[in-house]
Structure 1
Protein backbone atom coordinates (compact mmCIF):
# COMPACT_ATOMS: atom_id res chain seq x y z
CA UNK A 1 0.00 0.00 0.00
CA UNK A 2 1.27 3.47 -0.89
CA UNK A 3 0.01 6.67 0.71
CA UNK A 4 0.51 10.03 -0.99
CA UNK A 5 0.96 11.85 2.30
CA UNK A 6 0.96 11.54 6.06
CA UNK A 7 -2.56 12.98 6.09
CA UNK A 8 -3.81 10.19 3.84
CA UNK A 9 -2.25 7.61 6.16
CA UNK A 10 -3.91 9.22 9.16
CA UNK A 11 -7.28 9.27 7.37
CA UNK A 12 -6.93 5.52 6.83
CA UNK A 13 -7.07 5.31 10.60
CA UNK A 14 -6.55 2.34 12.85
CA UNK A 15 -7.42 -0.14 10.12
CA UNK A 16 -3.89 0.27 8.76
CA UNK A 17 -2.17 -0.14 12.11
CA UNK A 18 -1.71 -3.65 13.45
CA UNK A 19 -1.26 -4.30 17.12
CA UNK A 20 2.21 -3.13 18.07
CA UNK A 21 5.08 -3.06 18.06
CA UNK A 22 5.38 -1.19 14.78
CA UNK A 23 8.38 0.58 13.26
CA UNK A 24 8.53 3.91 11.42
CA UNK A 25 11.55 4.33 9.13
CA UNK A 26 12.30 7.79 7.71
CA UNK A 27 14.38 7.73 4.54
CA UNK A 28 16.78 10.65 4.10
CA UNK A 29 18.77 9.34 1.11
CA UNK A 30 19.11 6.18 -0.98
CA UNK A 31 21.68 4.48 1.27
CA UNK A 32 20.86 1.03 2.74
CA UNK A 33 17.11 1.47 2.62
CA UNK A 34 16.33 -2.22 2.07
CA UNK A 35 18.81 -3.52 4.66
CA UNK A 36 17.35 -1.18 7.28
CA UNK A 37 13.82 -2.44 6.64
CA UNK A 38 14.85 -6.12 6.57
CA UNK A 39 16.77 -5.76 9.84
CA UNK A 40 13.73 -4.43 11.67
CA UNK A 41 11.38 -6.97 10.15
CA UNK A 42 13.75 -9.69 11.37
CA UNK A 43 13.57 -8.24 14.89
CA UNK A 44 9.86 -9.01 14.96
CA UNK A 45 8.12 -5.70 14.32
CA UNK A 46 4.62 -6.55 13.17
CA UNK A 47 4.58 -3.82 10.54
CA UNK A 48 7.18 -1.41 9.17
CA UNK A 49 6.03 1.91 7.71
CA UNK A 50 8.49 3.58 5.34
CA UNK A 51 8.38 7.37 4.89
CA UNK A 52 10.29 8.26 1.73
CA UNK A 53 10.31 10.36 -1.48
CA UNK A 54 9.11 8.92 -4.77
CA UNK A 55 12.65 9.13 -6.15
CA UNK A 56 13.83 6.22 -4.01
CA UNK A 57 12.97 2.59 -4.68
CA UNK A 58 12.06 -0.34 -2.45
CA UNK A 59 12.84 -3.97 -3.23
CA UNK A 60 9.80 -5.69 -4.72
CA UNK A 61 9.18 -8.03 -1.79
CA UNK A 62 9.42 -5.16 0.70
CA UNK A 63 7.09 -2.97 -1.34
CA UNK A 64 4.43 -5.66 -1.03
CA UNK A 65 4.50 -5.87 2.76
CA UNK A 66 5.63 -2.44 3.98
CA UNK A 67 3.23 0.52 3.70
CA UNK A 68 5.00 3.39 1.98
CA UNK A 69 4.19 6.99 2.86
CA UNK A 70 5.33 9.77 0.56
CA UNK A 71 7.50 12.26 2.42
CA UNK A 72 9.58 14.48 0.16
CA UNK A 73 11.68 15.98 2.93
CA UNK A 74 12.44 14.25 6.21
CA UNK A 75 13.25 17.45 8.07
CA UNK A 76 13.10 17.16 11.82
CA UNK A 77 9.77 18.99 12.08
CA UNK A 78 8.13 16.57 9.65
CA UNK A 79 9.52 13.56 11.50
CA UNK A 80 8.22 14.92 14.81
CA UNK A 81 4.82 15.55 13.25
CA UNK A 82 4.65 12.03 11.81
CA UNK A 83 5.67 10.30 15.04
CA UNK A 84 3.20 12.36 17.07
CA UNK A 85 0.39 11.65 14.57
CA UNK A 86 1.01 7.89 14.64
CA UNK A 87 1.05 8.07 18.43
CA UNK A 88 -2.54 9.32 18.36
CA UNK A 89 -3.61 6.22 16.39
CA UNK A 90 -1.68 3.66 18.45
CA UNK A 91 -2.75 4.47 22.03
CA UNK A 92 -1.42 1.76 24.36
CA UNK A 93 0.80 0.15 21.69
CA UNK A 94 4.58 0.27 21.22
CA UNK A 95 6.09 2.37 18.44
CA UNK A 96 9.71 2.61 17.23
CA UNK A 97 11.21 5.13 14.83
CA UNK A 98 14.59 5.52 13.11
CA UNK A 99 16.20 6.65 9.86
CA UNK A 100 17.65 4.62 7.00
CA UNK A 101 21.11 3.11 7.64
CA UNK A 102 20.19 2.73 11.33
CA UNK A 103 19.82 -0.65 13.01
CA UNK A 104 18.20 -1.38 16.37
CA UNK A 105 19.89 -3.81 18.76
CA UNK A 106 18.63 -4.81 22.19
CA UNK A 107 19.93 -7.37 24.70
CA UNK A 108 19.70 -10.93 23.36
CA UNK A 109 18.01 -9.77 20.13
CA UNK A 110 19.53 -12.73 18.27
CA UNK A 111 17.25 -15.15 20.12
CA UNK A 112 14.35 -12.98 21.35
CA UNK A 113 11.91 -10.78 19.49
CA UNK A 114 11.30 -7.11 20.04
CA UNK A 115 7.78 -8.03 21.15
CA UNK A 116 9.11 -10.29 23.90
CA UNK A 117 11.48 -7.58 25.06
CA UNK A 118 8.77 -4.92 25.16
CA UNK A 119 6.38 -7.24 26.99
CA UNK A 120 8.96 -7.54 29.76
CA UNK A 121 9.59 -3.79 29.71
CA UNK A 122 5.84 -3.16 30.04
CA UNK A 123 5.63 -5.54 32.99
CA UNK A 124 8.24 -3.38 34.70
CA UNK A 125 5.79 -0.48 34.35
CA UNK A 126 7.90 1.31 31.77
CA UNK A 127 6.35 3.18 28.83
CA UNK A 128 9.50 4.20 27.00
CA UNK A 129 13.03 2.94 26.43
CA UNK A 130 16.26 4.91 26.24
CA UNK A 131 18.45 4.06 23.26
CA UNK A 132 22.01 5.15 22.58
CA UNK A 133 22.76 6.11 18.98
CA UNK A 134 26.07 4.35 18.40
CA UNK A 135 27.95 5.71 15.39
CA UNK A 136 29.08 3.26 12.74
CA UNK A 137 31.52 4.19 9.97
CA UNK A 138 33.56 2.70 7.16
CA UNK A 139 37.26 2.22 7.92
CA UNK A 140 38.50 3.62 4.61
CA UNK A 141 36.86 6.76 3.23
CA UNK A 142 38.83 6.52 0.00
CA UNK A 143 37.16 3.20 -0.76
CA UNK A 144 33.73 4.21 0.57
CA UNK A 145 33.32 7.99 0.24
CA UNK A 146 29.82 7.95 1.74
CA UNK A 147 31.27 6.33 4.92
CA UNK A 148 28.83 3.39 4.83
CA UNK A 149 30.05 -0.21 4.75
CA UNK A 150 28.02 -2.99 6.32
CA UNK A 151 30.76 -5.57 5.81
CA UNK A 152 33.58 -3.47 7.32
CA UNK A 153 31.67 -1.28 9.77
CA UNK A 154 33.55 0.03 12.78
CA UNK A 155 32.53 1.76 16.00
CA UNK A 156 34.21 3.46 18.95
CA UNK A 157 34.83 1.15 21.90
CA UNK A 158 35.28 4.04 24.37
CA UNK A 159 34.88 7.80 24.66
CA UNK A 160 31.28 7.86 25.89
CA UNK A 161 30.17 9.95 28.86
CA UNK A 162 27.08 11.50 30.45
CA UNK A 163 26.27 14.89 31.95
CA UNK A 164 23.38 16.01 34.11
CA UNK A 165 20.32 17.28 32.24
CA UNK A 166 19.46 20.55 33.94
CA UNK A 167 15.90 21.82 34.22
CA UNK A 168 15.55 25.50 33.25
CA UNK A 169 12.10 25.54 34.86
CA UNK A 170 13.58 24.48 38.23
CA UNK A 171 16.56 26.79 38.74
CA UNK A 172 18.68 24.53 36.48
CA UNK A 173 18.67 21.71 39.00
CA UNK A 174 19.38 18.29 37.43
CA UNK A 175 16.32 16.43 36.24
CA UNK A 176 15.60 13.20 38.09
CA UNK A 177 16.83 10.06 36.28
CA UNK A 178 17.69 12.00 33.14
CA UNK A 179 21.13 12.45 31.61
CA UNK A 180 22.57 13.77 28.36
CA UNK A 181 24.88 11.21 26.76
CA UNK A 182 27.78 12.01 24.43
CA UNK A 183 30.38 10.14 22.44
CA UNK A 184 31.18 8.70 19.03
CA UNK A 185 31.65 10.88 15.97
CA UNK A 186 29.52 13.68 17.40
CA UNK A 187 32.07 13.99 20.20
CA UNK A 188 35.25 13.47 18.17
CA UNK A 189 34.17 15.90 15.45
CA UNK A 190 32.15 18.21 17.64
CA UNK A 191 33.49 21.34 15.89
CA UNK A 192 31.32 20.34 12.92
CA UNK A 193 28.21 19.51 14.98
CA UNK A 194 25.83 22.18 16.38
CA UNK A 195 25.89 22.14 20.17
CA UNK A 196 22.23 21.15 20.43
CA UNK A 197 22.79 18.13 18.14
CA UNK A 198 25.74 16.52 19.93
CA UNK A 199 24.02 14.23 22.38
CA UNK A 200 23.53 10.59 21.38
CA UNK A 201 20.56 9.56 23.53
CA UNK A 202 17.21 9.06 21.86
CA UNK A 203 13.87 7.75 23.14
CA UNK A 204 13.37 5.48 20.13
CA UNK A 205 10.83 3.07 21.63
CA UNK A 206 7.71 4.36 23.34
CA UNK A 207 4.20 3.30 24.20
CA UNK A 208 1.66 5.64 22.67
CA UNK A 209 -0.53 7.67 24.98
CA UNK A 210 -2.97 10.58 24.47
CA UNK A 211 -1.43 13.99 23.72
CA UNK A 212 2.15 12.67 23.70
CA UNK A 213 4.48 14.76 21.50
CA UNK A 214 7.99 14.06 20.23
CA UNK A 215 10.36 17.02 20.55
CA UNK A 216 13.22 17.98 18.23
CA UNK A 217 15.87 16.68 20.64
CA UNK A 218 14.26 13.19 20.49
CA UNK A 219 12.71 13.50 23.93
CA UNK A 220 8.98 13.50 24.70
CA UNK A 221 6.56 15.95 26.26
CA UNK A 222 5.99 13.49 29.15
CA UNK A 223 9.16 13.80 31.26
CA UNK A 224 8.88 10.26 32.65
CA UNK A 225 9.35 8.98 29.11
CA UNK A 226 12.79 10.65 29.08
CA UNK A 227 14.17 8.80 32.10
CA UNK A 228 16.77 6.05 31.74
CA UNK A 229 15.37 3.88 34.57
CA UNK A 230 12.57 3.62 37.07
CA UNK A 231 13.16 4.80 40.67
CA UNK A 232 13.76 1.34 42.14
CA UNK A 233 16.21 -0.42 39.77
CA UNK A 234 17.93 -0.26 36.39
CA UNK A 235 15.88 -1.02 33.31
CA UNK A 236 16.56 -2.30 29.83
CA UNK A 237 18.18 0.04 27.34
CA UNK A 238 18.94 -0.53 23.67
CA UNK A 239 21.24 0.78 20.95
CA UNK A 240 20.55 2.22 17.52
CA UNK A 241 23.69 1.50 15.49
CA UNK A 242 23.76 4.29 12.96
CA UNK A 243 25.71 5.46 9.91
CA UNK A 244 23.71 8.70 9.94
CA UNK A 245 26.38 10.96 11.48
CA UNK A 246 29.16 9.44 9.37
CA UNK A 247 27.12 10.11 6.23
CA UNK A 248 26.30 13.66 7.27
CA UNK A 249 29.88 14.65 8.04
CA UNK A 250 30.94 13.53 4.56
CA UNK A 251 27.96 15.14 2.84
CA UNK A 252 27.86 18.55 4.52
CA UNK A 253 30.00 21.20 2.77
CA UNK A 254 31.42 22.51 6.04
CA UNK A 255 32.97 19.17 7.02
CA UNK A 256 33.30 17.00 3.90
CA UNK A 257 36.85 18.17 3.11
CA UNK A 258 37.94 18.42 6.75
CA UNK A 259 37.15 14.82 7.66
CA UNK A 260 39.83 12.56 6.19
CA UNK A 261 39.43 9.42 8.29
CA UNK A 262 37.14 8.25 11.09
CA UNK A 263 39.54 5.66 12.45
CA UNK A 264 41.43 6.24 15.71
CA UNK A 265 43.08 4.07 18.35
CA UNK A 266 39.72 3.13 19.88
CA UNK A 267 38.10 1.96 16.63
CA UNK A 268 37.06 -1.69 16.53
CA UNK A 269 35.14 -3.76 13.96
CA UNK A 270 31.41 -3.93 14.59
CA UNK A 271 30.35 -7.54 15.09
CA UNK A 272 26.61 -7.00 14.44
CA UNK A 273 25.82 -8.79 17.70
CA UNK A 274 24.22 -7.57 20.91
CA UNK A 275 26.93 -9.21 23.02
CA UNK A 276 29.53 -6.73 21.79
CA UNK A 277 27.30 -3.77 22.69
CA UNK A 278 26.59 -5.24 26.13
CA UNK A 279 30.31 -5.82 26.75
CA UNK A 280 31.10 -2.22 25.78
CA UNK A 281 28.38 -0.88 28.10
CA UNK A 282 26.40 0.57 25.21
CA UNK A 283 23.17 -0.98 26.42
CA UNK A 284 21.84 -2.44 29.65
CA UNK A 285 19.92 -5.72 30.20
CA UNK A 286 18.45 -4.52 33.51
CA UNK A 287 16.59 -7.39 35.15
CA UNK A 288 16.08 -9.26 31.86
CA UNK A 289 18.26 -12.35 31.63
Structure 2
Protein backbone atom coordinates (compact mmCIF):
# COMPACT_ATOMS: atom_id res chain seq x y z
CA UNK A 1 0.00 0.00 0.00
CA UNK A 2 1.33 3.44 -0.87
CA UNK A 3 0.25 6.65 0.84
CA UNK A 4 0.88 9.74 -1.27
CA UNK A 5 1.22 11.97 1.80
CA UNK A 6 1.49 11.66 5.56
CA UNK A 7 -2.00 13.12 5.84
CA UNK A 8 -3.30 10.29 3.65
CA UNK A 9 -1.70 7.81 6.05
CA UNK A 10 -3.27 9.59 9.02
CA UNK A 11 -6.67 9.26 7.39
CA UNK A 12 -6.36 5.47 7.06
CA UNK A 13 -8.00 3.21 9.63
CA UNK A 14 -5.48 1.47 11.86
CA UNK A 15 -7.41 -1.79 11.50
CA UNK A 16 -6.22 -2.03 7.89
CA UNK A 17 -2.54 -2.13 8.89
CA UNK A 18 -2.55 -5.60 10.43
CA UNK A 19 -0.75 -6.67 13.59
CA UNK A 20 2.79 -5.87 14.69
CA UNK A 21 5.54 -5.80 15.45
CA UNK A 22 5.98 -2.95 12.98
CA UNK A 23 9.13 -1.30 11.65
CA UNK A 24 9.46 2.23 10.32
CA UNK A 25 12.35 2.77 7.90
CA UNK A 26 13.06 6.46 7.30
CA UNK A 27 14.92 6.81 4.00
CA UNK A 28 17.04 9.97 3.94
CA UNK A 29 18.98 9.01 0.79
CA UNK A 30 19.66 5.91 -1.30
CA UNK A 31 22.77 4.73 0.60
CA UNK A 32 22.21 1.14 1.85
CA UNK A 33 18.45 1.57 1.65
CA UNK A 34 17.90 -1.95 0.36
CA UNK A 35 20.30 -3.63 2.82
CA UNK A 36 18.51 -1.97 5.74
CA UNK A 37 15.17 -3.07 4.31
CA UNK A 38 16.41 -6.64 3.86
CA UNK A 39 17.66 -6.65 7.45
CA UNK A 40 14.23 -5.64 8.78
CA UNK A 41 12.62 -8.43 6.77
CA UNK A 42 15.10 -10.94 8.19
CA UNK A 43 14.21 -10.00 11.78
CA UNK A 44 10.58 -10.99 11.33
CA UNK A 45 8.63 -7.73 11.43
CA UNK A 46 5.05 -8.21 10.28
CA UNK A 47 4.88 -4.91 8.39
CA UNK A 48 7.45 -2.30 7.37
CA UNK A 49 6.54 1.35 6.74
CA UNK A 50 9.02 2.95 4.34
CA UNK A 51 9.10 6.73 4.63
CA UNK A 52 10.66 8.28 1.55
CA UNK A 53 10.37 11.36 -0.68
CA UNK A 54 8.94 11.01 -4.17
CA UNK A 55 12.33 10.84 -5.90
CA UNK A 56 13.43 7.62 -4.16
CA UNK A 57 12.33 4.39 -5.81
CA UNK A 58 11.12 1.74 -3.40
CA UNK A 59 11.78 -1.91 -4.30
CA UNK A 60 8.77 -4.18 -4.51
CA UNK A 61 10.10 -6.51 -1.85
CA UNK A 62 13.25 -7.82 -0.23
CA UNK A 63 14.85 -11.14 -1.12
CA UNK A 64 13.68 -12.68 2.15
CA UNK A 65 10.46 -10.67 2.27
CA UNK A 66 7.99 -11.94 4.83
CA UNK A 67 6.57 -8.59 5.90
CA UNK A 68 3.98 -6.41 4.24
CA UNK A 69 5.55 -3.23 2.87
CA UNK A 70 3.80 0.14 3.05
CA UNK A 71 5.22 3.33 1.56
CA UNK A 72 4.55 6.77 3.03
CA UNK A 73 5.66 9.59 0.73
CA UNK A 74 7.00 12.34 2.96
CA UNK A 75 10.09 14.64 3.02
CA UNK A 76 12.19 12.41 5.28
CA UNK A 77 14.92 15.00 5.93
CA UNK A 78 12.50 17.70 7.05
CA UNK A 79 13.01 18.67 10.74
CA UNK A 80 10.55 16.72 12.86
CA UNK A 81 9.78 14.17 10.12
CA UNK A 82 10.70 11.21 12.33
CA UNK A 83 8.42 12.25 15.17
CA UNK A 84 5.58 13.12 12.79
CA UNK A 85 5.56 9.69 11.15
CA UNK A 86 6.21 7.59 14.25
CA UNK A 87 3.59 9.46 16.26
CA UNK A 88 1.06 9.01 13.47
CA UNK A 89 1.66 5.24 13.63
CA UNK A 90 1.52 5.16 17.45
CA UNK A 91 -1.93 6.71 17.36
CA UNK A 92 -3.20 4.00 14.97
CA UNK A 93 -1.87 0.79 16.54
CA UNK A 94 -2.24 0.84 20.36
CA UNK A 95 -0.70 -2.26 21.89
CA UNK A 96 1.58 -2.98 18.93
CA UNK A 97 5.38 -2.88 19.15
CA UNK A 98 7.20 -0.38 16.92
CA UNK A 99 10.84 -0.08 15.86
CA UNK A 100 12.11 2.88 13.85
CA UNK A 101 15.44 3.41 12.12
CA UNK A 102 17.05 5.10 9.12
CA UNK A 103 18.68 3.74 5.97
CA UNK A 104 22.18 2.50 6.73
CA UNK A 105 21.04 1.28 10.17
CA UNK A 106 20.59 -2.29 11.42
CA UNK A 107 18.85 -3.45 14.60
CA UNK A 108 20.56 -6.14 16.65
CA UNK A 109 19.18 -7.70 19.81
CA UNK A 110 20.51 -10.62 21.87
CA UNK A 111 20.42 -13.88 19.92
CA UNK A 112 18.74 -12.22 16.92
CA UNK A 113 20.38 -14.74 14.59
CA UNK A 114 18.13 -17.46 16.03
CA UNK A 115 15.18 -15.57 17.54
CA UNK A 116 12.69 -13.29 15.85
CA UNK A 117 11.65 -9.82 16.91
CA UNK A 118 8.23 -11.31 17.68
CA UNK A 119 9.81 -13.68 20.21
CA UNK A 120 11.74 -10.75 21.66
CA UNK A 121 8.74 -8.49 22.27
CA UNK A 122 6.69 -11.38 23.67
CA UNK A 123 9.38 -12.01 26.25
CA UNK A 124 9.83 -8.31 27.07
CA UNK A 125 6.07 -7.98 27.57
CA UNK A 126 6.14 -10.93 29.97
CA UNK A 127 8.84 -9.09 31.89
CA UNK A 128 6.35 -6.21 32.31
CA UNK A 129 8.42 -3.86 30.18
CA UNK A 130 6.96 -1.65 27.46
CA UNK A 131 10.18 -0.53 25.78
CA UNK A 132 13.67 -1.69 24.88
CA UNK A 133 16.46 0.86 25.19
CA UNK A 134 18.76 0.77 22.17
CA UNK A 135 22.27 2.14 21.79
CA UNK A 136 23.20 3.56 18.39
CA UNK A 137 26.64 2.12 17.62
CA UNK A 138 28.55 3.95 14.89
CA UNK A 139 29.88 1.91 11.99
CA UNK A 140 32.45 3.31 9.57
CA UNK A 141 34.71 2.27 6.72
CA UNK A 142 38.38 1.66 7.41
CA UNK A 143 39.49 2.96 4.03
CA UNK A 144 37.98 6.35 3.24
CA UNK A 145 39.79 6.55 -0.08
CA UNK A 146 38.00 3.46 -1.35
CA UNK A 147 34.78 4.40 0.45
CA UNK A 148 34.62 8.21 0.55
CA UNK A 149 31.13 8.24 2.12
CA UNK A 150 32.48 6.03 4.97
CA UNK A 151 29.98 3.23 4.22
CA UNK A 152 31.40 -0.28 3.75
CA UNK A 153 29.33 -3.28 4.82
CA UNK A 154 32.09 -5.84 4.19
CA UNK A 155 34.80 -3.89 6.03
CA UNK A 156 32.74 -2.13 8.69
CA UNK A 157 34.55 -1.06 11.84
CA UNK A 158 33.21 0.05 15.23
CA UNK A 159 34.69 1.45 18.42
CA UNK A 160 35.36 -1.32 20.96
CA UNK A 161 35.53 1.12 23.91
CA UNK A 162 35.10 4.78 24.77
CA UNK A 163 31.45 4.61 25.79
CA UNK A 164 30.18 6.29 28.97
CA UNK A 165 27.03 7.58 30.63
CA UNK A 166 26.01 10.74 32.50
CA UNK A 167 23.15 11.39 34.86
CA UNK A 168 20.02 12.55 33.07
CA UNK A 169 18.15 15.48 34.59
CA UNK A 170 14.67 16.74 33.81
CA UNK A 171 11.56 17.95 35.55
CA UNK A 172 10.11 21.44 35.48
CA UNK A 173 13.38 23.07 36.55
CA UNK A 174 15.63 20.76 34.57
CA UNK A 175 17.51 19.72 37.72
CA UNK A 176 15.53 16.64 38.80
CA UNK A 177 17.61 13.45 38.54
CA UNK A 178 15.61 11.04 36.42
CA UNK A 179 15.32 7.62 38.03
CA UNK A 180 17.01 4.81 36.05
CA UNK A 181 17.69 7.12 33.13
CA UNK A 182 21.12 8.03 31.77
CA UNK A 183 22.49 9.87 28.75
CA UNK A 184 24.89 7.61 26.88
CA UNK A 185 27.80 8.79 24.75
CA UNK A 186 30.57 7.29 22.63
CA UNK A 187 31.58 6.39 19.09
CA UNK A 188 32.17 9.00 16.41
CA UNK A 189 29.89 11.53 18.11
CA UNK A 190 32.31 11.49 21.07
CA UNK A 191 35.62 11.36 19.16
CA UNK A 192 34.56 14.08 16.72
CA UNK A 193 32.26 16.00 19.01
CA UNK A 194 33.47 19.36 17.72
CA UNK A 195 31.57 18.56 14.50
CA UNK A 196 28.39 17.34 16.23
CA UNK A 197 25.82 19.67 17.76
CA UNK A 198 25.48 19.06 21.50
CA UNK A 199 21.85 17.83 21.38
CA UNK A 200 22.91 15.21 18.79
CA UNK A 201 25.81 13.72 20.76
CA UNK A 202 24.06 11.10 22.85
CA UNK A 203 23.72 7.60 21.44
CA UNK A 204 20.70 6.24 23.33
CA UNK A 205 17.38 5.85 21.53
CA UNK A 206 14.15 4.18 22.62
CA UNK A 207 14.22 2.30 19.36
CA UNK A 208 11.68 -0.45 20.15
CA UNK A 209 8.55 0.20 22.19
CA UNK A 210 4.88 -0.63 22.65
CA UNK A 211 2.37 1.91 21.36
CA UNK A 212 -0.39 3.14 23.65
CA UNK A 213 -2.92 5.99 23.67
CA UNK A 214 -1.37 9.39 24.30
CA UNK A 215 2.22 8.21 23.88
CA UNK A 216 4.48 10.39 21.73
CA UNK A 217 8.05 10.26 20.46
CA UNK A 218 10.07 13.40 21.21
CA UNK A 219 12.81 14.97 19.12
CA UNK A 220 15.59 13.63 21.37
CA UNK A 221 14.55 9.99 20.71
CA UNK A 222 12.81 9.62 24.08
CA UNK A 223 9.13 9.00 24.80
CA UNK A 224 6.64 11.05 26.79
CA UNK A 225 6.19 8.16 29.27
CA UNK A 226 9.34 8.48 31.40
CA UNK A 227 9.29 4.85 32.57
CA UNK A 228 9.72 3.81 28.95
CA UNK A 229 12.99 5.79 28.81
CA UNK A 230 14.64 3.76 31.59
CA UNK A 231 17.51 1.35 31.00
CA UNK A 232 16.26 -1.18 33.57
CA UNK A 233 13.25 -1.95 35.71
CA UNK A 234 13.45 -1.61 39.53
CA UNK A 235 13.86 -5.33 40.22
CA UNK A 236 16.50 -6.57 37.76
CA UNK A 237 18.55 -5.76 34.66
CA UNK A 238 16.52 -5.40 31.49
CA UNK A 239 17.36 -6.50 27.98
CA UNK A 240 18.89 -3.82 25.77
CA UNK A 241 19.61 -3.76 22.05
CA UNK A 242 21.85 -1.99 19.54
CA UNK A 243 21.23 -0.13 16.31
CA UNK A 244 24.41 -0.37 14.27
CA UNK A 245 24.54 2.72 12.10
CA UNK A 246 26.57 4.30 9.30
CA UNK A 247 24.48 7.47 9.63
CA UNK A 248 26.95 9.59 11.62
CA UNK A 249 30.01 8.50 9.63
CA UNK A 250 28.18 9.30 6.39
CA UNK A 251 27.14 12.72 7.69
CA UNK A 252 30.65 13.60 8.87
CA UNK A 253 32.03 12.72 5.43
CA UNK A 254 29.24 14.53 3.57
CA UNK A 255 28.87 17.79 5.48
CA UNK A 256 31.18 20.57 4.19
CA UNK A 257 32.06 21.63 7.74
CA UNK A 258 33.64 18.30 8.67
CA UNK A 259 34.61 16.29 5.59
CA UNK A 260 37.92 18.08 4.99
CA UNK A 261 38.96 17.74 8.65
CA UNK A 262 38.59 13.94 8.80
CA UNK A 263 41.03 11.82 6.84
CA UNK A 264 40.48 8.60 8.80
CA UNK A 265 37.98 7.33 11.37
CA UNK A 266 40.28 4.56 12.61
CA UNK A 267 41.96 4.69 16.02
CA UNK A 268 43.61 2.13 18.32
CA UNK A 269 40.23 0.97 19.65
CA UNK A 270 38.69 0.29 16.24
CA UNK A 271 37.70 -3.32 15.62
CA UNK A 272 36.12 -5.23 12.76
CA UNK A 273 32.36 -5.61 13.07
CA UNK A 274 31.31 -9.23 12.56
CA UNK A 275 27.58 -8.49 12.22
CA UNK A 276 27.05 -10.60 15.31
CA UNK A 277 24.85 -10.07 18.36
CA UNK A 278 27.35 -12.07 20.43
CA UNK A 279 30.13 -9.61 19.55
CA UNK A 280 27.95 -6.69 20.67
CA UNK A 281 27.16 -8.44 23.95
CA UNK A 282 30.82 -9.30 24.55
CA UNK A 283 31.74 -5.63 24.01
CA UNK A 284 29.05 -4.58 26.51
CA UNK A 285 27.06 -2.72 23.85
CA UNK A 286 23.86 -4.55 24.76
CA UNK A 287 22.81 -7.17 27.27
CA UNK A 288 20.27 -10.01 27.40
CA UNK A 289 18.97 -9.27 30.90
CA UNK A 290 17.26 -12.47 32.06
CA UNK A 291 16.71 -13.81 28.52
CA UNK A 292 18.72 -16.95 27.91
Q: Secondary structure at the match of 1:286?
A: coil
CA distance in 1, matches of 2:212, 2:260: 45
1:13 corresponds in structure 2 to 13
Q: Does 1:251 align with 2:257?
A: no
Gaps of 5+ in 2: none
Gaps of 5+ in 1: none
The aligned runs of 1:122-137 (5 Å cut-off) are 122-137=125-140
Contact 1:76 1:216 in 2 (8 A): no
2:70 corresponds in structure 1 to 67
1:140 corresponds in structure 2 to 143
CA distance in 1, matches of 2:155, 2:44: 26
Q: Does 1:102 align with 2:83?
A: no
Q: Does 1:41 align with 2:66?
A: no
CA distance in 1, matches of 2:212, 2:186: 31
Aligned length: 289
Shift of 1:171: 6.4
Change (3 A) 1:266 1:82: same
Change (3 A) 1:278 1:85: same
Q: Secondary structure at the match of 2:172?
A: helix
Contact 2:26 2:76 in 1 (8 A): no
Q: Does 1:205 align with 2:202?
A: no
> Which TM-score applies when normalising by structure 1?
0.97
Q: Does 1:77 align with 2:53?
A: no
Shift of 1:65: 4.4
Q: Does 1:221 align with 2:221?
A: no
CA distance in 1, matches of 2:202, 2:174: 22
CA distance in 1, matches of 2:136, 2:279: 15
Q: Secondary structure at the match of 2:257?
A: coil
CA distance in 2, matches of 1:209, 1:94: 9
> Which TM-score applies when normalising by structure 2?
0.96
CA distance in 2, matches of 1:171, 1:284: 30
| Aligned Cα root-mean-square deviation (Å) | 1.4
Q: Say which is worse superposed, 110-119 or 53-62, in terms of deviation.
A: 53-62
CA distance in 2, matches of 1:156, 1:178: 23
Contact 1:25 1:37 in 2 (8 A): yes
